[in-house]
Structure 1
Amino acid sequence: MRCVIHHSGTTSGRCHIYSLPFRFTCLEKISNQFPTIVFNTVTYLHAFDTVPMQHEFFMRMSQVFPFLKHFSVSNLIPQSSNYYEWKSDENPYCSFIEYSHLSSLDLTCVHKDYVVQFLLETKTHLPCLTDLYVDSHQLRSVTMNFTRN
């Protein structure tokens, strides 16, 4: 058995308890706090948190969930305190991330930083993406009204 407890800073919290080896295909409402074991069977994942999910979090996600096909993110908190450095296409502090099997990405409940995280190929590569769910205003902003490569 393995247990992960997430405290949201209030009196409430969330607890995930699961058996090992992990055999489920779906995980919901995981946060920045999850074990670093490899979940080979998970193909659907929903990540939710009330603190920023930094670039390193998504790097870990790609390694810990190597066969992820459907990914949903919910977080309205900005990723970086220095937004202009983060939004730059050429940020030397960000390692390149690849989600090899990801075909569906839901970014409808996120801050604009997360749209940048996933749509700029200098930060994240999504070679199998076929379904993208994102707010149209955020998409226009991130793509500079569809003129950004």
Structure 2
Amino acid sequence: CLYLLDGRLQHLSILIIDIDEISDSSSNIDNTKNLPKLKCLTLTSQWYTYFYNDRIVPLLRRMLNLEELTLFLSIIRNESTYIDGTQLHNDFLINMPRLNKFIFSIHTYIINDRIEIDLPSKNDILNSFLEREYQQVHSYADEKLTFNRGFCHVYLLPYHFNDFIFMTSGFQGGSFSEVRGLIMLDIRPFENELFQVISQDFPFLQRLSITNLYSQQNKQHLSTSITFAHLFDLDLARANIDYVVQFLFDKNTSLPRLTHLTVRYETLATVTQGFTNDAARLTCSTIRCLVVKEPFVRPEKFLLYFSSL
């Protein structure tokens, strides 16, 4: 993308960049010329980047006449703090006097192994946006680090994106009817109550991926089943066995449209008791695409259990 922005597209006014990851480059690229004709930029990236300061900020500072800006970013920072409204202003918004529309979802993952930094509270982060006249902003953030790690997510409301990524156990709810894909990731357990909130706040969720190796503290499931009415794709390959029980046992979670499942074979065999118990049979019977990355030999009762394969 930087090659295209070396000045050759002199009349470019609208630019939409949708990439998996923002990485460094060893190529010699002229990344200094201003882009005075650019009026509208959308920059979305699905994975964490280490290069906010080195790549993203210098790029945005070149767009002096930008009128509309949309950012969907996840950023890793070492020995630092969360990105808030004050930093966004100082980094590049101050250079965009004509900006009249700023839509954003920015997730910060900090790793502070060598120093101690006082982290801002949720209210501190929200106030940093209010001071810049951004009223409809929501945030959740870790005020204390776990294993020297911390997460913060700040976004504009109403939420404008189809994906909600790297949700942690600190999520506090909201209205996300536009979201179709959700990625959950944390170094603390996801409890049953959180999945109940998600099923209500993400009513049209279709794809769910859970990365969490930590066992749930509360093993008692809710008295009524949680329903994800539109979920068809579930990825539990990097999830503790508790979340496989949470989603495959129909007494815990109802998944009437589930057809795609990604899971570890050992976990699946354990939860289903060698594909013999009835607790997960109903949910597994609807699976049409089963992704198991490690090799395995199908037991005799495997195809009876996954009768739609």
TM (normalized to structure 1)?
Answer: 0.87
Once residues 126 and 33 of structure 1 are traced to their aligned partners in structure 2, the CA distance between those partners, rounded to angstroms, is 24
Total equivalences in the alignment: 141
Unpaired stretches in structure 2, ≥5 consecutive residues: 1-136, 279-309
Which structure's relative contact order is higher, taking Cα pairs within 8 Å and 6+ residues apart? 1
Structure label with greater radius of gyration: 2
Match of 1:126?
A: 255
Stretches (4+) displaced over 3 A: none
Match of 1:4 among 123, 140, 144: 140
Instruction: Report the CA distance shift for 1:30/1:145 in structure 2 as closer, same or farther (over 3 A).
Output: same
Match of 2:210 among 67, 70, 73: 73
> What SS is found at the alignment partner of 2:257?
coil
1:27 Cα deviation after fit: 1.0
Once residues 207 and 231 of structure 2 are traced to their aligned partners in structure 1, the CA distance between those partners, rounded to angstroms, is 6
Letter in 2 for 1:46: I
1:81 Cα deviation after fit: 6.1
Instruction: Report the CA distance shift for 1:73/1:109 in structure 2 as closer, same or farther (over 3 A).
Output: same
Query: What does the per-residue CA deviation read over 1:49-73, in whole Å, with 9 as the maximum and x for residues that have no partner?
Result: 1111111111111011111000000
Letter in 1 for 2:175: V
Query: What does the per-residue CA deviation read over 1:53-109, in whole Å, with 9 as the maximum and x for residues that have no partner?
Result: 111111111011111000000111111366xxx5xxxx6x54310000001000000
Once residues 81 and 65 of structure 1 are traced to their aligned partners in structure 2, the CA distance between those partners, rounded to angstroms, is 23
Once residues 225 and 210 of structure 2 are traced to their aligned partners in structure 1, the CA distance between those partners, rounded to angstroms, is 19
Instruction: Report the CA distance shift for 1:41/1:53 in structure 2 as closer, same or farther (over 3 A).
Output: same
Matched, 1:102 2:238: no
> What SS is found at the alignment partner of 1:137?
helix
TM (normalized to structure 2)?
Answer: 0.43
Instruction: Report the CA distance shift for 1:123/1:47 in structure 2 as closer, same or farther (over 3 A).
Output: same
Q: Which moved more, 1:94-103 or 1:125-134?
A: 94-103
> What SS is found at the alignment partner of 1:72?
strand
Match of 2:178 among 26, 34, 41: 41
1:9 Cα deviation after fit: 1.6
Does the 8 Å CA contact 2:173/2:198 hold for their aligned counterparts? no
Over the residues paired in the alignment, what is the CA RMSD in angstroms? 1.6
Matched, 1:25 2:162: yes
Once residues 191 and 147 of structure 2 are traced to their aligned partners in structure 1, the CA distance between those partners, rounded to angstroms, is 22
Instruction: Report the CA distance shift for 1:148/1:27 in structure 2 as closer, same or farther (over 3 A).
Output: same
